[in-house]
Structure 1
């Protein structure tokens, strides 16, 4: 159980480190310092026996080596400051145009972290080697191998600068940002819902199976939240082990992504007489809280990130329907992938087959609401976006879908059609909208299509 607890905490820590600008540069800086020390030892031990050719490779006295290393160090730290300033400017513009919730995605880009770390590492290495270059009465004491590596790092740093300029110029383009967010959405669906779906519905629990005992609420004890914050993840396996060990039935009232208020009930555990203060505290520790939503177990947050880009593109201040349409295309790809996945069952059984934990599960309806609601509300006056939404739904409904998934799609198609139709004054625009809506209805069974 401790191992499971540590694993999820390590995942949470790793997500934090990946979204920071200090971890990779710090790691590269330490590596540069260790490299400088090791190469100096090699210079000391093997200079005469193995590396005499380095002294003939270039003619350099101590002042010359010191000048080169000083120039390299000052240039590296100066360019590092420029790189950091450009990165902050890009983050500021991206936050205002695409939304602040995408900042962790931008900061997670390894290329920028490596470039920043490369210049810092070059600076630290050059400074450390500079301390080893000295003039003596017997001549210059120059660690040739260390100085040669410093020159190589300088050349590589120049390549990093070119790469960084190209990286920034391509990454800030709206289609590339949308692609990045859309790809992350598909990856999140794949990691949270790894099992393939059965369109017949045989692999999904029936509604009757989700019902708790009639006296459950009366016999249950509420588990209070240990603090304030967003629920990043739930250690479900640990909750199951606690429930099985103590013969409990635990109902989780919250799911990842929801905001938690300290002292409010997170879960119910029954029977209450079996729930000691220690057990309640153990269950409360299975809920990992954080200052912001993450993609560890929050499927709807991944959807919200892509929807936010589209909604901001439709705002009067930006007015960029092409980016919104691009977001809808990637959203369609992600929802098509979701249709092939089985949503996690809300029932967790122990080793004896007894139901130990009932979760607050994700549903197709809930995920599709997150995908369509805000887009529909902001696209009611934009024919191009509304038509693309209906086109996307028509494509999705052509495939074999679970019944709840198909029903939710059709419901949103009707809402889009009705909300947009009355806001289009031109007859040709209304005809285009009706044509797209007709394509959606064409995919329905005859009994469903007659409802409209």
Structure 2
């Protein structure tokens, strides 16, 4: 239930209708409440707050018209900003812009102030030659209009700031940091304490020779946005099952293809399959709630677009590489969550499909490396980032992933860059990466040919 609510909140906050709707409903409530407050305070309202009916009507009419006009300005500016963001940084970055609450609050404040003023116009009444005017309500309308103007000014400032490349990259990087904090490590049920036992049991239960394993197929099509892990553990415990997930958030599910394997398959009926499918939240797009690679891919998309011939902005690509390198350094220091999850009694229940450091590294650098292979500045920054990452990695698999990526960066540059001095500079940076990883340079090209001279140059 918690996972579903978080996913719904993600959908609500990335739309322009939710906050404005709440604010207009609040204005509707105030519009009917405040005249009653005025009737209660009618005899105690000071003379300086009172005015003529014509002045009161003109004030409210002006506020209502001005706020509707301001709402049109907010809408127009927002559409222009969305167009710029989509064309320059990619349509997937619209999610970050749409989730900015300031723009939603500005639009909602304009609509709410206008609606409140219109409702007050209908509160004017005449009894026994006396016209009732809600003076307190009118002054509240003036105050709301003033606050709305300040919100509008700040909103325009935010829009102007949000469309700058450095700020776009920083905001996506913040989303990525939040995703890392949520997912690494991520608690799914209770962590199995006996890792070796779980590995052996999983290999035994889900081997190719195991006849009792049955597959659960997806009943819908789309991107897997989140998984209700607690619900899966409860389902497995209820029917005494062990469930091996074949999909993780970010994967595209195709109807009819397996998303999980269940042991024993004899307990797998239509009800269990339907309940298991309900724990998979599927949508039309990827979200960073449980999908860390979604935020990584957004940064990669900004970098790749910046390297395209139509934009040709290597500086933005370098900013993205810097952020990705910093993220990977933090990730290298974190404990990767083990895939085995047990119930409260310690029995193995779920085998999740998680992330690995090599996969995230490849997701972050592969496309930038491929599109920037002819750009010396971007390739140099890639090697510098890999050198910084190499300083944090400890396991052999992490070191092998960094070494593989550094080799591909260097080989691609040698093939694409004709200038010899540029190639020497890249080789020097590559030499530093190898030394940081604890490798012997003469065991790798090009240092196995004339590595000593280059080594002396790098050390000088």
What TM-score bracket applies, with the shorter chain setting the length? over 0.9
Corresponding residue of 2:436: 443
**Cα distance between partner residues in 2 of 1:72 and 1:113:** 20
8 Å CA contact retained: 1:293, 1:301: yes
Residues 272-351 of structure 1 aligned to structure 2 (within 5 Å): 272-351=265-344
**Cα distance between partner residues in 1 of 2:196 and 2:402:** 21
**Cα distance between partner residues in 2 of 1:18 and 1:295:** 13
**How many angstroms does 1:215 deviate by?**
4.9
Aligned pair in 2 of structure 1 residues 142, 437: CA closer, same or farther (>3 Å)?
Answer: same
SS at match of 1:21: coil
Corresponding residue of 2:150: 159
Consecutive unaligned residues of structure 2, counting only runs of 5 or more, are 188-192, 446-460
**How many angstroms does 1:368 deviate by?**
0.9
**Cα distance between partner residues in 1 of 2:247 and 2:137:** 57
Q: Deviations over 1:208-257 (max 9, x none)?
A: 55635335653211111121111111112211222222222211111111
Residues 258-277 of structure 1 aligned to structure 2 (within 5 Å): 258-277=251-270
Find out whether 1:223 has 2:216 as its counterpart: yes
Find out whether 1:35 has 2:30 as its counterpart: yes
Find out whether 1:16 has 2:11 as its counterpart: yes
Corresponding residue of 1:83: 74
**Cα distance between partner residues in 2 of 1:101 and 1:110:** 18
**How many angstroms does 1:353 deviate by?**
2.4
Between 1:213-222 and 1:297-306, the stretch displaced more is: 213-222
Q: Of 387, 391, 395, which aligns to 1:402?
A: 395
Corresponding residue of 2:43: 48
Aligned pair in 2 of structure 1 residues 35, 334: CA closer, same or farther (>3 Å)?
Answer: same
Aligned pair in 2 of structure 1 residues 205, 18: CA closer, same or farther (>3 Å)?
Answer: farther
Corresponding residue of 2:450: none
Q: Deviations over 1:378-406 (max 9, x none)?
A: 01111100000000111111235333222
Between 1:422-431 and 1:398-407, the stretch displaced more is: 398-407
**Cα distance between partner residues in 2 of 1:152 and 1:379:** 54
Q: TM-score, normalised by structure 2?
A: 0.91
8 Å CA contact retained: 1:77, 1:123: yes
**Cα distance between partner residues in 2 of 1:436 and 1:208:** 40
Find out whether 1:169 has 2:164 as its counterpart: no
Corresponding residue of 2:453: none
Aligned pair in 2 of structure 1 residues 246, 215: CA closer, same or farther (>3 Å)?
Answer: farther
**How many angstroms does 1:107 deviate by?**
0.2
**How many angstroms does 1:89 deviate by?**
1.3
Residues 44-123 of structure 1 aligned to structure 2 (within 5 Å): 44-49=39-44, 52-53=45-46, 55-57=47-49, 60-123=51-114
Corresponding residue of 2:378: 385
**Cα distance between partner residues in 1 of 2:194 and 2:328:** 19
The number of aligned residues is 438
Aligned pair in 2 of structure 1 residues 217, 360: CA closer, same or farther (>3 Å)?
Answer: farther
Find out whether 1:427 has 2:420 as its counterpart: yes
Q: Of 180, 196, 203, which aligns to 1:189?
A: 180
**Cα distance between partner residues in 2 of 1:114 and 1:87:** 12
Q: Of 203, 217, 221, which aligns to 1:211?
A: 203
Corresponding residue of 2:129: 138
**Cα distance between partner residues in 1 of 2:442 and 2:53:** 87
Corresponding residue of 1:369: 362
**Cα distance between partner residues in 1 of 2:76 and 2:89:** 20
**Cα distance between partner residues in 2 of 1:446 and 1:291:** 45
Aligned pair in 2 of structure 1 residues 394, 150: CA closer, same or farther (>3 Å)?
Answer: same
SS at match of 2:211: helix
**How many angstroms does 1:309 deviate by?**
0.4
**Cα distance between partner residues in 2 of 1:451 and 1:205:** 36
SS at match of 2:416: coil
**How many angstroms does 1:173 deviate by?**
0.6
Q: TM-score, normalised by structure 1?
A: 0.92
Consecutive unaligned residues of structure 1, counting only runs of 5 or more, are 1-5, 197-201
Aligned pair in 2 of structure 1 residues 315, 215: CA closer, same or farther (>3 Å)?
Answer: closer
SS at match of 1:422: helix
**How many angstroms does 1:47 deviate by?**
1.9
Aligned pair in 2 of structure 1 residues 352, 140: CA closer, same or farther (>3 Å)?
Answer: closer
**How many angstroms does 1:140 deviate by?**
3.1
**Cα distance between partner residues in 1 of 2:64 and 2:263:** 65
8 Å CA contact retained: 1:230, 1:290: yes
Q: Of 399, 406, 416, which aligns to 2:409?
A: 416
**Cα distance between partner residues in 1 of 2:196 and 2:312:** 44
**How many angstroms does 1:204 deviate by?**
8.2
**Cα distance between partner residues in 2 of 1:203 and 1:404:** 22
**Cα distance between partner residues in 2 of 1:405 and 1:385:** 23
**Cα distance between partner residues in 2 of 1:261 and 1:400:** 36
**Cα distance between partner residues in 2 of 1:103 and 1:222:** 37
**Cα distance between partner residues in 2 of 1:187 and 1:333:** 14
8 Å CA contact retained: 1:251, 1:268: yes
